């Protein structure tokens, strides 16, 4: 799903000033990055697909495009590897087991330390905001009164609620677990958690440009990863998304109310799974709605823009006062066509990097060293069988 992705500091339980200050603290307290390569050099590329570089049209296609997806523009992406599927609970569990890593959502916030960096007289946030926890989806608790005729929530925050105890092992809060979900994508992980895992695995997060190039799977200029068909049957075959009346009723026609095991739906043209739906995926770029406009202003528009990295800081008016807003891509099991259809490969969304959500996960990328030469066609190869 799409908006609103609220941050840990925007639960509506403290003063605006207090929230902004809490945000500052959270930024400074981002967890450190694991340095050991637990995956081992020989196995780093296992489960990855070689995405051969090329030029594509980055940005929205057709009337479903939103402002932040425009204007479309030519981008050149260098060859890289990308995980065939989203990082799973089992994989993230291996990382945690090997390193003892604690995710952002599992950490207490120490007020005594926090207030050292705040102006004198700063108000202490409510205790629940300082406890380990995260945000969970509250759509099932909404009534018709909460939703407009068009199906949109009257109050953004009503979709979400803070839940003490929610973390990657308990994605829906106390009483929930990932038992039997080892092959589901890990969720309730912050940007820093994703980066820490990637570092441990000897990988990195993809750039937004790499992510979109890979998601298109060679279908340049198409609305969806699978082409231009908006039929229910094509959506059902290709993406774990929401069926029914969002956010009140999920008819679960596709069999999955929440996350699905990775690879449950069709792969795209590059052999990548779940590039549409299932969970949003962290990218390394900061988010700005004006990223593409600014990019074109600063470039020679007659040539493809090579390996764009995104702006130097993030901003999204949906998360006022924060410059730590990162790009997430691909949409999730909560996405519905009545909103933004963010399972389109051009769909963009933001999330503050210290925030974890039940529908945000990630997959990792890896550079080629050295980059292969003499291959000019775009496409992909299965790493396992063709590149050693």
Residues that bind Ca ion (CB under 5 A): 240, 254, 256, 333
- Smaller CB distance to Ca ion: residue 106 or 281? 281
Nearer to Ca ion, 208 or 254 (CB): 254
The residue among 18 and 277 lying less far from Ca ion, judged by its C-beta, is 277
Q: Which is nearer to Ca ion, 244 or 372 (CB)?
A: 244
User: What is the rounded distance in angstroms from the CA atom of residue 264 to the CA atom of residue 268?
Assistant: 12
Round to whole Å and give the CA distance between 18 and 126.
Answer: 10
Contact 164, 133 (CB under 8 A): yes
Look-up of token digits 């900061």: 286
Q: Which is nearer to Ca ion, 282 or 333 (by Cβ)?
A: 333
38 phi-psi bin (left φ>0, alpha ψ -120 to 50, beta other)? alpha
Decide whether 197 or 256 has the Cβ nearer to Ca ion.
256
> Which spans in the chain are helix H?
16-28, 89-99, 111-116, 127-130, 191-200, 208-216, 232-238, 291-297, 383-386
Closest CA to 327 of 210, 235, 188: 210
Rounded to a whole number of angstroms, the minimum distance from the CB of residue 178 to Ca ion is 18
Shortest reach from residue 249's CB to Ca ion, in Å = 12
Residue 73 CB, nearest approach to Ca ion (Å): 32
Q: Would you say 26 or 279 has its CB closer to Ca ion?
A: 279
The CB-of-336 to Ca ion minimum distance in angstroms stands at 10
Cis peptide before 71 (omega within 30 of 0): yes
CA contacts within 13 A on the Cβ side of 39: 21
Q: How far is the CB of 253 from Ca ion (least distance, A)?
A: 8
Taking Cα atoms as reference points, which of 153, 46, 171 lies closest to residue 106?
171
Minimal distance, residue 97 CB to Ca ion, in Å? 30
Shortest distance, position 147 Cβ to Ca ion, whole Å: 19
Q: By Cβ distance, which residue is nearest to Ca ion?
A: 256
**Coil, strand, or helix at residue 124?**
coil
Q: What angle do CA 59, 62, 64 make, to 5 degrees?
A: 90
């Amino acid at each position: 799903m799409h908006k609103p992705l609220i941050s840990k500091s925007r639960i509506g339980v403290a003063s605006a000033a207090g929230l902004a200050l809490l945000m500052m603290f959270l930024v400074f307290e981002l967890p450190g990055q694991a340095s050991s390569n637990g995956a081992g050099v020989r196995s780093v590329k296992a489960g990855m697909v070689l995405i051969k570089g090329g030029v594509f049209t980055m940005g929205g296609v057709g009337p479903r495009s939103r402002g932040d997806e425009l204007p479309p523009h030519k981008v050149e992406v260098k060859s890289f590897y990308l995980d065939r599927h989203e990082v799973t609970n089992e994989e993230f569990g291996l990382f945690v087991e090997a390193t003892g890593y604690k995710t952002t959502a599992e950490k207490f916030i120490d007020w005594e330390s926090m207030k050292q960096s705040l102006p004198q007289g700063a108000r202490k946030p409510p205790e629940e905001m300082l406890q380990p926890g995260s945000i969970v989806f509250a759509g099932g608790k909404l009534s018709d009164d909460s939703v407009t005729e068009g199906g949109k929530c009257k109050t953004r925050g009503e979709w979400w609620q803070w839940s003490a105890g929610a973390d990657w092992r308990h994605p829906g809060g106390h009483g929930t677990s990932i038992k039997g979900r080892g092959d589901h994508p890990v969720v309730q992980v912050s940007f820093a958690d994703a980066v820490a895992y990637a570092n441990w695995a000897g990988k990195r997060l993809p750039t937004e440009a790499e992510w979109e190039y890979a998601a298109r799977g060679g279908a340049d200029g198409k609305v969806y990863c699978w082409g231009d068909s908006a039929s229910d049957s094509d959506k059902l075959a290709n993406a774990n998304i929401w069926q029914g009346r969002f956010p009140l009723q999920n008819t679960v026609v596709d069999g999955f109310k929440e996350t699905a095991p990775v690879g449950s739906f069709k792969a795209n043209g590059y052999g990548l799974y779940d590039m549409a739906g299932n969970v949003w995926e962290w990218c390394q770029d900061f988010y700005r709605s004006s990223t593409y406009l600014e990019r074109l202003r600063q470039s020679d528009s007659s040539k493809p823009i090579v390996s764009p990295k995104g702006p130097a800081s993030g901003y999204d008016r949906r998360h006022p006062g924060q410059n730590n807003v990162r790009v997430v891509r691909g949409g999730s099991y909560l996405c519905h066509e009545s909103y933004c259809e963010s399972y389109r490969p051009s769909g963009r969304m933001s999330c503050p990097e210290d925030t974890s959500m039940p529908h945000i996960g990630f997959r990792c990328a890896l550079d080629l060293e050295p980059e292969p030469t003499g291959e000019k066609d775009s496409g992909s190869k299965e790493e396992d069988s063709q590149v050693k």
